[in-house]
Structure 1
């Protein structure tokens, strides 16, 4: 099937091609607003202070690689069960399973970024600050770290960070369009009726040498 034939086929079933994507997008839009609660994200940043740090540029350049490895270890430590349990116990929570915790560290510094995402705006900020507090004490006890200092404390977010309802609706629209095209193509493949001279030539293997025109109103 050529592209032109496909376009002609889609034009023939234009109602289905338009209606199905719109219905899918509408259903997803309604579901996202009714059944997907808002989520909020609070963020904090920390700086890893290593024992024996020097303020000279030479020392900092020499220890950059080792310092970055320590920062990566602290990033992993934040998401450990020990820090999570201590944070949950300090906040009198059963666990932090209802919250999504993301940690990232820069490749050329010892700055660590921590984000906490959940359905309660105030809780996300409280958990982020408590995680930063607990990771400092744990890092001091198990690593060669002097402290993990908070640069920017997490504040309660004022607007939701998700879900991305527009993106979900757009994806549903594209999925509906793809399904509509697949249905149209499948219907055409399953249609075995002879619809023209080309079909006759293909089925019988002989050329069509004449046609009898249809006459309206003839007896």
Structure 2
């Protein structure tokens, strides 16, 4: 016979193991909060913008072909910005204690589609150092491009600034705790159903009917132990019980 599970049975399982679901959720949220607030190091982000624009002369008009050339050059410039030729000078100028490869992992260069503006985005555990790296990278790149590409078509559009109340971009403790709560609920609910599925003990007469497919004819209730009576209590009880032929209370 095919078994079916009703919504009432599902809610009964959740209500039965509600303590487990709540416990797992609290543990997940607590662990996430402790790691986010006390373990993970805050990371700050700063960015600067550079403009890729070919120099024009009197005979050259500003047309779509020139724009497309500048856009295509951005892809090449992205690689140059993160190359040791630029980052080694940035490290030397800022006296950073890291390699060019390590600094390159902190820098991201991006631009919108068909845009001549590129963004140099830097992430660091120090907000001030992230700002300095972004500005220095843009400045060094602007100086070195004419030597590398034989063109002078880069200008700094906007410099990175250090806000007075800079907030880290990661970790985000409250978001992490919210995600941990959702994950904890999912794990708790899943574990509750798993434990219920693995529990094959018979607890009610309905379980017996499902297993044997026979109706239950009777139930033997639990009989509590009768308390023992001491000798003094027994003698007092015998004195209170009237003997044959006697009236009670005479």
| Shared fold per TM-score greater than 0.5 | yes
Task: Please give the per-residue CA displacement for 1:84-113, whole angstroms capped at 9, x wherever unaligned.
Answer: 212101211232636722211121221011
Q: Does 1:183 align with 2:191?
A: yes
Shift of the 146–3 alpha-carbon distance from structure 1 to 2, 3 Å rule, reads: farther
Q: For 1:129-179, what per-residue CA distance to the aligned partner results, in whole angstroms no more than 9, with x for missing partners?
A: 110012223322232531321111111233222321112111221222222
Gaps of 5+ in 1: none
**Under a length normalisation based on structure 1, what TM-score does the superposition of the two structures give?**
0.84
Alignment-derived partner of residue 157 in structure 2: 151
Inter-partner Cα distance in structure 1 for 2:158 and 2:117: 11
Judge conservation of contact 2:209–2:215 (CA < 8 Å) in 1: no
State yes or no: 1:160 paired with 2:164: no
Name the larger-Rg structure. Answer: 2
Question: RMSD of the TM alignment (CA)?
Answer: 2.8
Where does structure 2 lack aligned partners over 5 or more consecutive residues?
227-250
Could you tell me how far 1:3 is from its partner in structure 2? 6.7
Scaled by the length of structure 2, what TM-score is found? 0.75
The 1-side partners of 2:84 and 2:22 are apart by 51
Which residue in 2 is equivalent to 1:69? 72
Question: Which residue pairs with 1:140 in the alignment?
Answer: 146
Q: Which of 102, 112, 120 is the aligned partner of 1:114?
A: 120
Residues 71, 114 of structure 2: 8 Å contact kept: yes
- CA offset at residue 70 of structure 1? 0.7
User: Does residue 1:48 correspond to 2:52, yes or no?
Assistant: yes
Query: Following TM superposition, by how much is the alpha carbon of 1:196 offset from its aligned partner in structure 2, in angstroms?
Result: 3.9
Which one has a larger percent strand, Structure 1 or Structure 2? Answer: 1
Aligned length: 216
Q: C-alpha separation between the residues in 2 aligned to 1:144 and 1:6?
A: 72
CA contact (8 A) 2:205 2:216 kept: no
Q: Which residue of 1 aligns with 2:244?
A: none
Secondary structure of residue in 1 paired with 2:152: strand
Query: d(CA) in 2 for partners of 1:112 and 1:188?
Result: 57
- Per-residue deviation at 1:65? 2.2
Structure 2 CA distance, aligned partners of 1:3 and 1:168?
35
1:49-75 deviations in Å (ceiling 9; x for gaps): 22447898x743233322211122212
Aligned equivalents of 2:147, 2:192: Cα separation in 1: 66
